[in-house]
Amino acid sequence: KTWQDCDYKEALEAATGECTATVGKRSNGKFSVATQTCQITPAEGPVVTAQYNCLGCVHPVSTKSPDLEPILSHAVQHFNNRTDHSYLFALKEVKGAQRQVVAGWNFQITYTIAQTNCSKENFLFLTPDCKSLLNGDIGECRDNAYVDPQLRIASFSQNCELFPGEDFVQPPTKICAGCPRELPVDSPMLKEVLTHSVAKLNAENNETFFFKIDTVKRATVQVVAGQKFAIEFTASATSCSKESNEELTESCEIKSPGQSLHCNADVYVIPWEKKIYPTVKCQSLGMISLMKRPPGFSPFRS
């Protein structure tokens, strides 16, 4: 069956996965996966105690298998000998490989190659001095090779496409799906989170006047069971008293001079439950004046 014709297993027997991928679109309209990482959770159902191999069937092979090395070496040399590119190319990454046992072995390998700093004018073959160029051209290849029982490459075919270096999406140096990432302080993602944070601040303090967020200094978001926001901000007292107003509104202006706070908020957002759980901790910065201060004036009260 093709994968489109396959059904999911029953929940008890089905492993599940969560993947992060960087996919780039070429100028010719084709897509290319630059990086992909998957976290697979095993099934809790029946355990497979025996595996029956089909010797004549096509099976996946580890991309790090030593059996691939002579084929890949031949493939890169084959490309360099037949292409009209003025520079030599070197192996970049093996994307996938399959093997079939016949009277010998059939291999199918998918890999990428990268332009090096060695020109064909000065180098006949790749040497240790040939280094891949960061912005050099990139090739994507799919090869078929037949290795006879004497371990000789008896048959070989190659299909490669070349792309300009700037047309290739370079993968990030590090992908960490569960790590905090910086957010712009004016990100629309923060609007609702900040509203709940200042509401929590005003509900928990004993001040006479409502406080309003003055400046957002830093913000991060982290994917957990939902999203976790960490925000550093300053808040200032407004002209709206809790006695005369039920809640903070846009019309509440910051008082000058007025009390100011330095705050850190941790906010958990669970979108599918439409719930937000803020925690806010603040320290007083004392009375702050919004008027222009003379040189040397300190706004902080001890």
Residues 238-284 have pLDDT tens digits of: 999 998 888 898 889 988 888 899 999 999 999 888 899 999 999 98
Q: Which domains does the chain have, with CATH numbers?
A: 55-167 (3.10.450.10), 181-284 (3.10.450.10)
Q: What is the pLDDT of residue 8?
A: 85
For the full predicted model, state whether its pTM sits above 0.75: no
Percent pLDDT > 90 in the chain is 47
Q: What is the pLDDT of residue 1?
A: 77
Are the beta carbons of 62 and 94 closer than 8 angstroms? no
- With cut-offs at 50, 70 and 90, classify the pLDDT of residue 41: confident
Cα(109)–Cα(67) distance, rounded to whole angstroms? Answer: 11
Residues 73-97 have pLDDT tens digits of: 999 999 999 999 999 999 999 999 9
Which amino acid is present at 183? L
Nearest alpha-carbon partner for 43 in 73, 91, 78, 8: 8
In this predicted structure, the answer to whether residue 286 has a pLDDT above a threshold of 90 is: no
Cα(223)–Cα(181) distance, rounded to whole angstroms? Answer: 9
Residues 146-162 have pLDDT tens digits of: 999 999 999 999 999 88
In this predicted structure, the answer to whether residue 10 has a pLDDT above a threshold of 90 is: no
What integer is the mean pLDDT of 223-229?
88
**How many residues in the chain?**
302
Q: What is the pLDDT of residue 49?
A: 53
In this predicted structure, the answer to whether residue 29 has a pLDDT above a threshold of 90 is: no
Are the beta carbons of 233 and 216 closer than 8 angstroms? yes
- With cut-offs at 50, 70 and 90, classify the pLDDT of residue 35: confident
Residues 148-202 have pLDDT tens digits of: 999 999 999 999 988 887 654 555 555 676 788 899 999 988 999 999 999 999 9
Question: How crowded is residue 32: how many other Cβ atoms within 10 Å of its Cβ?
Answer: 17
- Torsions phi, psi for 194 (to 5 deg): -70, -35
Which amino acid is present at 174? K
Q: What is the pLDDT of residue 297?
A: 38
**Whole-number mean pLDDT of the chain?**
85
Q: What is the pLDDT of residue 293?
A: 43
